[in-house]
A and B are shown apart, each in its own frame.
Chain A
Amino acid sequence: MSRKTLVATAALGLVWAAQAHAQANELTLCWAAWDPANALVELSKDFEAQSGTKMKFEFVPWPNFADRMLNELNSGGQLCDLLIGDSQWIGGAAENGWYLKLNDFFDKEGISMDDFAPATVYAYSTWPKGTPNYYALPAMGDANGWFYRKDWFSRPEIQAAFKEKYGRDLAEPKTQKELLEIAQFFQGREIDGKTVYGASIFTERGSEGITMGATGALYAWGFKYENTPGKYDMEGAVNSPAAVEALEFYKELYKTATPPGYDNAYMEQSLDAFKSGQVAMAMNWFAFFPGLYADPNVGGDKIDFFVNPPQNVAGSTLGGQGISVVANTDNMDGALAYIKWFAQPDVQKKWWSMGGYSCHNAVLNDPGFKDSAPFAGDFLEAMASVQDFWQEPAYASLLLAMQERLHNYVVADQGTAKEALDGLIADWTEIFQDEGKL
C-alpha cells in the first residue's frame, strides 16, 4: 500500500470515528409540531447541560404526524431515538416491537408508575391495557376542552339578550345542550361591527379531527365502545340510543353554530377562528391553553376555559402522549438517560411551569396546582373523566373507518346517525375479524 493510500485511509477512519462519536452523544426526539414541543426544547437544555448529550428534535405537523411517524417505525427507520407518540399507537407499537418495554429499566432506576396519575399511566403507558407492562413514561397529559370569549359573555347587552331568549344568565355551559344554545345564540350576531359565529369544533376528515370532536359529545352521552370490555361486543353500545342522540347533537352543532366553510377543520382552524375573533367558543386540546391565555389579542382577561360539559355523564376525549424509547435506536443508553432525567419530580415541575402538562403526582397533587393557571383546575377535572379511542394494534384502520362514517353523516349529510353508527359497527367488526379477535 502506498504512503498516500495509507494517509487517505487513516483520514477516512478518523472522520468515521468522529461521526460515530458524535452520533453516540446525540439524541433525536420526535414529536408533533405544537406549542408544548417548543417548551420541551427549552426544558431539554437542562438535560444537555447535565449529560453533555446534544438533543435534536424532529417535529411533524399534526395532520401528518401519525402518517409520518408510523411509517418511520414500520420501516425500521432510525430517525428517532425517543418518540412522544399518540396514546392510540401503544398497542401496535408494543405488539410490533417498535417501542422498548421499560419495566426492567423502571425497576432498576426506581421509577414508579405509582408516582404518575393512574389515568395517564393506563392510557399512555400500558399494553395490554391496564396490565403492568409499560412501554412509555406519561409525558404530556391532555384532553379536549373548551374556551370562550369572557369579555363578550360579560357584556350587559349580550347578557340581557341571552336572558330574554333563554330565561337564564349567560355563563359557562353546564351541559352539552346549554353549550348548543349558547353557540346558536352567538351565531351570526354582530359584535363590534363584525359578524361572529357560535363555536369552532373539529370536523376534519383526513386524520383524526372529526372523531376527536364528536367523541366529546358521544362520551358526554355515555358512549361505550363495547358492552363488555375486551369482548368486542359493539352492538347496542356503539349504536345505543344515547350514542345516536349524541351524534345528532354534534351534527346540529356543526350545522347551526359554526362559521361558514367550516367543513374540514381541526386544531389549527379552531385556533385561527378564535384568535381572529370569529367565534364565541372553541374546542381544542388543553395543550394550547397556555398559549391562548398569553395571546395579546384574545388572551388574559378576555378568555376563560371550561371542561367538556357533561350531558348524561361527565366525559372528555383523551389526548396526550407518553414518551417511549424506539427499540432500534443506536443510542439506547442516551435515550434511557433522558427518560430517567425526565421522570424526576423537579423536572416535571419545571415542565408544567413552561407549558407542558405534567402527569406526575408531585405536580398534580400539589395544593397550589389548581391556582397555578386559569385552566389548571379544568385540566384536573377533565383528566378525571377522560375516555380514549381504541388503542388496538389496528387503531389506524378503526380510526379511519370512524372518520369516514362521521364525516359522511355530520358534514356530507349522508344517511342518519343510526345508519352511520350501524355502518361503523360493520366496519369495526370486519377489522377485528381480520385481526383474528372476532
Chain B
Amino acid sequence: MTQTPIDRLARATPPTLSRKVRGLSDRAIAWIFVAPTIFLLLAINIFPLIWTVRLSFTNFAANKPNAEVKWVGLRNYERVLTDEGIWASMTTTAHFLIWTLFFQVVIGFTLAWLINRKFRGNDLLTTLIVLPMMLSPAVVGNFWTFLYQPQIGLVNYVVELFTGTPASSFSMLGPGGLAPWAIVIVDTWMWTPFVMLICLAGLRSIPDYIYEAAEIDRASKWRQFWTITVPMVLPFLMLAVLFRGIENFKMFDMVALLTGGGPGNETLLTSIDLKREAFEKWRTGYSSAYAIILFVTVFGLASIYVKALNKVKER
C-alpha cells in the first residue's frame, strides 16, 4: 500500500501527543496541523492562479465592476502574442537578464575565488563586498539616479576624468542607448555579492585532499582549476543563476525607480509593462493572459534548468 504524505506525517507524530487528544486519531491530528497551511496555500496561491486563468478568457476590467463580462476565448492570448510592444519588452527583459547573469557570474565567481584565499582583512573585505545586497532596491534605485545625473552625478565625472568626454554631454538614463546598460550595471553592482557568497560556499566545500592528490599527480594550477574547482562549484553556480534568473525576470522596483521603463520604452521590462496594463490601464482580462504567458515561460524555462542542474549534481 502506498503511503500518502499525510500517513507519513501521522506516523511521525509523537505518540504521546495523540494519546493526549482524546477521540482524535493520529491521522485527524495530522490533518488539523496541516490544514491551515493547505488552506492558505489554496487561498493565496492556487485560487488566484485559477481565477487569473479564468479572467484571461474574458474582457473583464477591474475598474468597471458593473460592466458585462464577456467570454472572449483566446482573443486576449492572440492579442498579447501579436503585440509588437510586448515582444519589444520581452527583448528588453532578455537583454537585461542575459547580461546581468553574465556579469554577475563572471565577477561573482572571480571575487569568490579571490576571497577564498587566506589573507589579512579577508573578513572585512567580504563584509564590505556584500553591503550592496543588504540595501533596499528602492534605495539603490534612488541613489543611482543621482549617481547617473549628468550635472552632479559621480558616474559622468568619472567618465570625464578617464575619457575626456564632457560630463554633461551624455545621460546614462537618457536617450542614446545607454539606459539598458545603466540598469545592468546597477543590478550587477547590487547582486554580484549574492552570487559571490554562493560560489564561496561552493569553493569552501571542496575538500583540500582533492587538491593535494592533484598536486601529487603534478597537475598544474590551470588544470586543477578546470578539472576540480569548476566542476565542483558548478552546481552552486547554477543554483545562483537560477535564483538570480527568476528574480531578474520579475525585476520591477529598482528599474521602475531608475528609469520608469524609459526613455521611451528602452528599459520597459515585462513586469513594468504588465503592471501598467493591469493597474493603470485596467485591462484585467488582457493582463491576465499576459501574466499567464509570462508564468508559463518562467515555469517552463525553470523546469528545464532544474533538470539540467540535477544532472550536473549527479555527475
B interface: dominant SS: loop
Q: Give A407's nearest chain B residue, CB to CB.
A: B264
Report the minimal beta-carbon distance from B59 to chain A, rounded to whole angstroms. Answer: 7
Contacts of B281 in A (CB 8 A): 396-397, 400
Q: Which of A201-235 contact B (CB under 8 A)?
A: 205-206
Interchain CB contact under 8 A, B263 and A263:
yes
Interchain CB contact under 8 A, A261 and B279:
no
> Does B262 interact with chain A (Cβ within 8 Å)?
yes
Report the minimal beta-carbon distance from A258 to chain B, rounded to whole angstroms. Answer: 11
Interface-side segment among A66-74, A144-152, A166-174: A66-74
Q: Given A205-B262, A261-B171, A434-B283, 9 other A-B contacts at CB below 8 A? A: A71-B279, A260-B171, A263-B173, A264-B173, A264-B263, A412-B262, A412-B264, A412-B265, A412-B266
> Does B16 interact with chain A (Cβ within 8 Å)?
no
Report the minimal beta-carbon distance from B63 to chain A, rounded to whole angstroms. Answer: 5
For chain B, give the interface size range: 20 to 34
9 A–B contacts from the bound complex (CB under 8 Å): A95-B64, A96-B65, A96-B66, A205-B261, A260-B168, A261-B171, A264-B260, A407-B263, A412-B265
Q: How far is the CA of A408 from the CA of B84 in the complex (A)?
A: 14
> Does B138 interact with chain A (Cβ within 8 Å)?
no
Q: How many residues of A contact B (CB 8 A)?
A: 28
Interchain CB contact under 8 A, B282 and A264:
no
Contacts of A97 in B (CB 8 A): 66
> Does B46 interact with chain A (Cβ within 8 Å)?
no
Binary interface encoding of chain A residues 264-294 relative to chain B, with 1 for a CB under 8 A from any of its CBs, else 0: 1000000000000000000000000000000
Interchain CB contact under 8 A, B150 and A260:
yes
Interchain CB contact under 8 A, A413 and B175:
yes
Q: How far is the CA of A206 from the CA of B280 in the complex (A)?
A: 10
Binary interface encoding of chain A residues 396-429 relative to chain B, with 1 for a CB under 8 A from any of its CBs, else 0: 1100100010011101111000000000000000
Report the minimal beta-carbon distance from A438 to chain B, rounded to whole angstroms. Answer: 15
> Does A92 interact with chain B (Cβ within 8 Å)?
yes
Q: Give A415's nearest chain B residue, CB to CB.
A: B264
> Does A322 interact with chain B (Cβ within 8 Å)?
no
> Does B149 interact with chain A (Cβ within 8 Å)?
yes
Contacts of B82 in A (CB 8 A): none
Interchain CB contact under 8 A, A263 and B168:
no
- Would A400 and B276 be within 8 Å (CB), given that A263-B173, A263-B175 are in contact? yes
Report the minimal beta-carbon distance from A247 to chain B, rounded to whole angstroms. Answer: 14
Q: How far is the CA of A74 from the CA of B284 in the complex (A)?
A: 13
> Does B62 interact with chain A (Cβ within 8 Å)?
yes
Interchain CB contact under 8 A, A408 and B264:
yes
Contacts of A264 in B (CB 8 A): 173-174, 259-260, 262-263
Contacts of A411 in B (CB 8 A): 174-175, 262-264
Report the minimal beta-carbon distance from A106 to chain B, rounded to whole angstroms. Answer: 25
Q: How far is the CA of A67 from the CA of B279 in the complex (A)?
A: 8
Contacts of A92 in B (CB 8 A): 63
- Would A396 and B280 be within 8 Å (CB), given that A74-B62, A412-B262 are in contact? yes
> Does A259 interact with chain B (Cβ within 8 Å)?
yes
Interchain CB contact under 8 A, A205 and B63:
no
- Would A260 and B169 be within 8 Å (CB), given that A96-B63, A96-B64, A397-B283 are in contact? yes
Interchain CB contact under 8 A, A261 and B168:
yes
Interchain CB contact under 8 A, A263 and B262:
yes
Q: Which of A43-101 contact B (CB under 8 A)?
A: 67, 70-71, 74, 92, 95-97
